[in-house]
Amino acid sequence: MIRNTKITAEVVKEHGLTEDEYALLLKIMDREPTLAELGIFSVMWSEHCSYKSSRVWLKTFPTSGPKVLQGPGENAGAVDIGDGLAAVFKIESHNHPSFIEPYQGAATGVGGILRDVFTMGARPIANLNALRFGDPKHPKTKHLVSGVVAGIGGYGNCVGVPTVAGETNFHPSYNGNILVNAMTVGLARADRIFKAAARGPGNRVLYVGAKTGRDGIHGATMASAEFTEESEAKRPTVQVGDPFTEKLLLEACLELMAEDAIVAIQDMGAAGLTSSSVEMAARGGLGIDLDLDRVPVRETGMTAYEIMLSESQERMLLIVKPGAEKVAERIFAKWELDCADIGEVTTTGHLVVSKNGKVEIDIPVAPLVDQSPLYRRPHVPSPKRPEIKAANTKVVDPIEALKKLMGCPDLASKRWIWDQYDHLVGNDTIQTPGGDAAVVRVRDTRKALAMVVDCTPRYCLADPKTGGAQAVVETWRNLTAVGAEPIAITDNLNFGNPERPEIMGQIVGCIEGMGEACRALDYPVISGNVSLYNETNGQAILPTPVVGGVGLLDEYTQTVGIGLREPGRALVLIGETKGWLGASLYLREIAGWEEGAPPPIDLKRERKTGDLVRSLIRTGKVAACHDLSDGGLLVAIAEMALAGGTGAMLAAPPKGIPAHAWWFGEDQARYVVGTSNAEAVLAAAKAAGVPARIVGETAAGSLTLAGGGAISLGELRAIHEGWLPKYMS
Amino acid sequence: MKAAVVSFPGSNRERDIMMALERASGVKPSLLWHGDAEIPDTDLIVVPGGFSYGDYLRCGAMAAHSPVMKALKEKAARGTPVLGVCNGFQILVEAGLLPGALMRNASLKFVCRQVHLRVEDSQSLFTNAYEKGQVIRVPVAHAEGNYTADEDTLKKLEDRGLVAFRYVAPDGSLSPEANPNGSIRAIAGIFNDSKTVLGLMPHPEDATDPHAGGMDGFGMFKSLVNALH
């Protein structure tokens, strides 16, 4: 054992371990650790890698179902989509690095999630992202938007995976902690899903991909601490991405997977070689010996500590049968990538790492993983907010309010962003960005996958349980609105410091609401990621549990978009409208008031309404469909009008509901459909016991409210499309 | 029509264009690798889009010097038709098969969107299924598609009718808003002197399916089949 650094209390603290955690480490090791060993415990027990604050709550999610082939715990989840195929997907955050270095932070976020998916044997077919930035007036926001968008595009475009959907919001709570959540969806053969459990003592451990450098050391630990003014000095802990190498690694891995060579495979993501080797050994209940002298490095003089903790990108660890190294070497040579035999699977149950012929690390794997700290942190529920009566809110002319909402940062068109993403490569993108959900065809079949990411953080702040449920339900509704059957979700829980009971209360509340919604909709969680400590100087972000949903269309030609394309069609509102303005966008943008309880969620009604809408779409009864969310009915119809280039003449609000609540209320479980067969739609709704009413008719040129003003599509488009390009110029 | 598609490490639209070729001709194209020093007999060679060798140097500059490009140049010199799309156009320019240069987009950003092109010549191998002056809608997806050339070259391109496509508004008129990358004279694609080589930035292959991008790009592949059978 090499011991050239004394492990003092100071060194332990720098590694982010508490006194109790260090005491546990000593008990497991039964001796003082080497610095490299301490480094390994530090990253493996970081919040990022160990989920120590969230694990007890994550266990409450429903994670199984008839279509689930792989639930949480592997590199990504997988569901059966028939025809012998599986959809493999996951979402992951790269929040902290993206704030420090937006281009590389966001780019490597995309790289990491792509690897998580192709590690499973799936070819990535689509990327999505959920972005949260600070106040547009904050001096940093513009620079961050520009860098993050360029980074996501720069990586995904080069790898050749289309970026098909996403969402972007702005709120001052993200001024010091932006959120960059990236999701990848891939396709694999259902009987050829690759996993990360080491098997077979004597099997070889292969390192493939890019060389190891000193970048990103302790990225996982950084992602597990609050930001302070000094955080920007942590720029060197941000990794640098190389999408070209990723593309080669993707092709080489898929080529090797087609051979019978790989026993297990794991991406070197957070905590690099450490987490990949430890997790593979732990899952297989085995040990691994590594010889670091054989690791391809791009700098000289790297120590065991540095090699084990480097987060250099575009690397994979494989376990192959003896003899299969040759196959791997041939394929990786073709793709001009390194492939090195760096060790073997053992029966010792220990991770034993040597360098220069000396053992530098010898850790029992099972306790490192199984005894990792687990906290049931104290939590207090968020205080209940009062309901806000529509009669007590500010009333402005509906057309004026519409103009303001359609041009506000959260609702303004994000075309400036998706124009920078190649959303077409592959030629299977059936529904492009800007609709309710993207639809990507499953090549060589009649099927397509629908996919979307959603979260309404202001609802989560107002009432975590309702907000958590709403995030799940909104994805379900968006998938339904393109005609898809929702299958499963992945989640990215972004919160502040879990050591604060009120933040922990948000986490617990959101998870409870999400779980309840997933159970009611038979919509299990199959993968996910947790990002905590999103705080700067004690200022936490809004609770932001982002949900990524995936659904299936058996016949891709049945999908409908949001665009209204022909005049003379009826617009039918499906679902019940009471005019709920609490925590609405109208209240925030028009009245300047971030108050009130969010709209309640009725999961039975959601399901009944969504099932009706899906059957209307699949039987060809509607030509356009849009779910109602931020901004309510009038915003939804305005979006439909702009998307298809046809306006509408809208009927006056029904009696009993104030006009502003009718137009802008955010009651849930609602959709608007455009149809030439309103009678059939109304009859089907009646039969299903779902309220539905005709609210207008499509008409060329403008949006007109009966007895309440009008706006031309040209003016509306200028407002809606104008904000972001103007802001970024 | 037998087509061969050349792929480099980093190519990423080879599958798109192979599908489009197959849809038009009924024949599966063959795929060549960058290290191939020989190209088998074929009716058409296609250089697809992507980021060859990562395009960390000037786009297409590395690929232009690969073994397969040497073979491609020999074939082109003997009259085998060559189509270069997006990165393929950049590579053909770097290889000296087409004049001019492709610079960073005027916006300095990657741009992916549907654009309208005016077909400037309907007599070529690549465009005979279109009408002269026809406006088609196809997507672009690139960061470096800003075509430029010196005045003499531009004059030659115009005088000899070697401009294949221009970016236009839906009504066929030229306008700065319709030009996605700042290309001089709104040039989207050009022929070589003998019109046996075409390079263009837009992706007609991603407009060959009624459910994914429409059919406006199909005419190019149909033209090739008409001419080359």
pLDDT tens per residue across span A238-249: 788 999 999 999
What pLDDT shows up at residue A656?
A: 92
Instruction: Tell me the per-residue pLDDT of A315-332, one tens digit each, with 9 for 90 and over.
Output: 999 999 988 999 999 999
Instruction: Tell me the per-residue pLDDT of A140-152, one tens digit each, with 9 for 90 and over.
Output: 999 999 999 999 9
Average pLDDT over residues A79-103: 96
Q: Within 10 Å of residue A652's Cβ, how many Cβ atoms? A: 12
Distance of CA A140 to the CA centre of its chain: 23
CA distance A722 to A706: 27
What pLDDT shows up at residue A269?
A: 81
3-class DSSP assignment, residue A384: coil
Pair A136, A146: CB distance under 8 Å = no
Q: Are strands A350-355 and A287-291 parallel, antiparallel or unpaired?
A: parallel
Confidence of residue A48 (pLDDT cuts 50, 70, 90): confident
What pLDDT shows up at residue B32?
A: 96
- What's the helix, strand, coil split of chain A in %, to 5? 40, 25, 40
Residue identified by tokens 């190389």 is A242
Put simply, the answer to whether B16 touches A425 (Cβ < 8 Å) is yes
Residue identified by tokens 């997006």 is B86
Pair B48, B7: CB distance under 8 Å = yes
pLDDT over 70, % of chain B: 100
CA distance A449 to B214: 20
CA distance A140 to A301: 38
What residues of chain A lie within 8 A of the CB of B211, using their CB? Answer: 430, 441, 556-557
Average pLDDT over residues A710-717: 98
Instruction: Tell me the per-residue pLDDT of B99-121, one tens digit each, with 9 for 90 and over.
Output: 999 999 999 999 999 999 999 99
What residues of chain A lie within 8 A of the CB of B51, using their CB? Answer: 157-158, 160, 243-244, 247
Beta bridge pairs of residue A91? A183
The H-assigned helical ranges of A120-271 are: 141-159, 219-222, 243-257
Query: What is the set of active-site residues of B?
Result: 86, 203, 205
- Comparing A9-23, A234-248, A274-288, the range with the smallest average pLDDT is A234-248
Put simply, the answer to whether A157 touches B110 (Cβ < 8 Å) is yes
The pairs formed by A682-691 with CB atoms below 8 angstroms and a separation of 24 or more are A682/A572, A684/A612, A684/A615, A684/A616, A684/A621, A685/A572, A685/A574, A685/A612, A688/A608, A688/A611, A688/A612, A689/A608, A690/A574, A690/A575, A690/A605, A690/A608, A690/A609, A690/A612, A691/A574, A691/A575, A691/A576
CA distance A597 to A594: 10
The residue of chain B nearest to residue A152, with distances taken between CA atoms, is: B110
A94 is catalytic: yes
Average pLDDT over residues A665-682: 98
Burial label for B131, CB within 10 Å (0-12, 13-18, 19+), is exposed
- What's the whole-number average pLDDT of chain A? 94
The ipTM estimated for the assembled molecules is 0.97
CA distance A558 to chain B (A): 10
Residue identified by tokens 């190498």 is A245
Active-site annotation holder among A94, A96, A171, A720: A94
CA distance A597 to A610: 24
Confidence of residue A491 (pLDDT cuts 50, 70, 90): very high
Across the beta sheet with A544-553, the strand order is: A429-431, A438-441, A448-454, A544-553, A485-494, A525-531
> CB distance from A434 to chain B under 8 Å?
no
Pair A343, A198: CB distance under 8 Å = no
What residues of chain B lie within 8 A of the CB of A335, using their CB? Answer: 9
Q: Residue A36 is encoded by which pair of tokens?
A: 């490299």
Residue A221 has pLDDT above 80, yes or no: no
Domain boundaries, chain B: 3-228
Confidence of residue B56 (pLDDT cuts 50, 70, 90): confident
Residue A708 has pLDDT above 90, yes or no: no
Q: What pTM did the predictor assign? A: 0.96
Confidence of residue A1 (pLDDT cuts 50, 70, 90): very low
Residues of chain B whose beta carbon is less than 8 angstroms from a beta carbon of chain A are 9-10, 12-13, 15-16, 19-20, 49-51, 53-56, 109-113, 139, 141, 143, 203, 205-206, 208-209, 211-213
Kind plus residue range of the DSSP H or E element containing A622 = none
Task: Give the CA distances from residue A295 to residues A281, A302, A315, A332, A335, in Å, rounded to whole numbers and listed in that order.
Answer: 18, 11, 11, 15, 18
Residue A688 has pLDDT above 90, yes or no: yes
CATH topology for B3-228? Rossmann fold (3.40.50)
> CB distance from A419 to chain B under 8 Å?
yes
CA distance A138 to A226: 20
Residue A222 has pLDDT above 60, yes or no: no
Average pLDDT over residues A216-223: 64
Pair A699, A631: CB distance under 8 Å = no
Confidence of residue A236 (pLDDT cuts 50, 70, 90): low
The residue of chain B nearest to residue A428, with distances taken between CA atoms, is: B212
| DSSP secondary structure string for all residues of A263-310 | EEEEE--TTHHHHHHHHHHHHHT-EEEEEGGGS-BSSTT--HHHHHH-
The residues near A728 (Cβ < 8 Å, ≥ 6 apart) are A142, A145, A146, A416
